[in-house]
């Protein structure tokens, strides 16, 4: 398959965009999940993300004090990981977890154009408008900046997935102002098994 397969649509499965947002909030505000994310899984996830980001720091994509943004950062482990390796990182999510994650919508990020050197996300499956989401990533990236997108390809997803992605090309093609730098399978970690990197023109 060559595209992102949408599971739900506004006007069909959701009456309004707010209904979609409320559905997504159910997962993020679930007390059992939050207890796990902020407790037992907290350091484990930070260490996993540090390993991911250190790879890109060692390959000169990430450089000291770069301004970084994480889309859909939930409780913020990826933000902490970036900060711990010397970046200036912030996350957005529909449910904030300050000081690491502020309230923000992946389809309408609260930042100016060309604001960040590096953007990370692993929640494409939670987007009901994947094209708009990737456009926001490009919009906030500076020229020459990089976007790292991790995907869960051909895996069973949960009830909060809004789409299924069967190949990376279907998401890569949503970028209009960037070139592909890396496109590779990765060891299965945190439900992700693929990642790609785009560089904004």
Predicted confidence (pLDDT) per residue in 38-48, tens digit = 999 999 999 99
Cβ contact 73:91 at 8 Å: yes
The helix, strand and coil proportions of the chain, stated in percent and rounded to the nearest 5, come to 30, 30, 35
Distance CA 6, CA 128 (A): 7
The answer on pLDDT for 147 being more than 60 is yes
Distance CA 102, CA 75 (A): 10
Predicted confidence (pLDDT) per residue in 52-68, tens digit = 999 999 999 999 999 99
Claim: this prediction has a pTM higher than 0.95:
yes
């Amino acid at each position: 398959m060559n595209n992102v397969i949408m599971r739900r649509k506004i006007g069909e499965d959701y009456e309004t965009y707010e209904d979609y947002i409320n559905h997504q909030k159910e997962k993020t505000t679930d007390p059992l999940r939050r207890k796990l994310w902020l407790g037992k899984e907290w350091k484990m996830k930070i260490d996993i993300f540090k390993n991911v980001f250190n790879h890109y720091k060692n390959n000169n994509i990430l450089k000291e004090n770069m301004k970084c943004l994480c889309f859909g950062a939930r409780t913020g482990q990826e933000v902490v990981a970036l900060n711990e390796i010397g970046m200036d990182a912030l996350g957005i999510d529909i449910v904030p977890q300050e000081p690491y994650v502020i309230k923000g919508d992946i389809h309408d990020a609260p930042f100016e154009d060309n604001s960040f050197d590096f953007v990370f996300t692993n929640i494409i499956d939670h987007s009901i408008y994947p094209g708009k989401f990737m456009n926001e990533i490009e919009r906030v990236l500076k020229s020459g900046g990089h976007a790292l997108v991790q995907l869960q390809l051909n895996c069973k997803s949960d009830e909060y997935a809004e789409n299924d992605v069967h190949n990376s090309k279907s998401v890569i093609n949503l970028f209009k102002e960037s070139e592909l730098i890396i496109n590779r399978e990765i060891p299965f970690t945190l439900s992700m098994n693929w990642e790609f990197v785009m560089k904004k023109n």
